[in-house]
Amino acid sequence: MSQIDLDAILAQRAEATGAEEGRIPFTFKGETFTFRDPMMLDDEDQELLEDIADSEDARLSEIAEFWMGEEEWERFRSAGGTAPMFRYIIEENSRREQEADAAGKSSARINRSQRRAAGRKR
């Protein structure tokens, strides 16, 4: 079995998603916006996102701001973007990643919730 080259895998994934410097682009009303590449979140950012999402009073706008960053989120909102629109972008990105996973182009990721569920099943 050959060695797994994570650098090559990440480069191929970046090319497929258009990601640059850990951000994935999308267009809206003729402007290009970006959000954090989920694959490139560090452990602290992943835990922060999970804390925001698990909060009882979590708002979609807070989650969108996490993904886009404050300035990018405000620019998106000024163009007429909304939190539900951004949620759709995240869901579409996830769908595309799953299709790529199914085609064998990248490896599957397991999030903390999936690990917890797997631990409860044992």
Residue keyed to tokens 């998106």: 76
Q: Which of 61, 69, 58 is nearest to 24 (CA)?
A: 69
Give the C-alpha separation, 36 to 87, whole Å. 13
pLDDT-derived band at 19, boundaries 50, 70, 90:
confident
pTM of the model: 0.72
Q: Is 110's pLDDT higher than 80?
A: no
Residue keyed to tokens 């994570």: 6
**Model pLDDT, residue 107:** 42
Please tell me whether residue 26 adopts helix, strand or coil conformation.
Answer: strand
Q: Is 35's pLDDT higher than 70?
A: yes
Ramachandran angles phi, psi of 90, nearest 5°: -65, -45
**Model pLDDT, residue 39:** 87
Name the residue ranges covered by the structural domains of the chain: 6-121
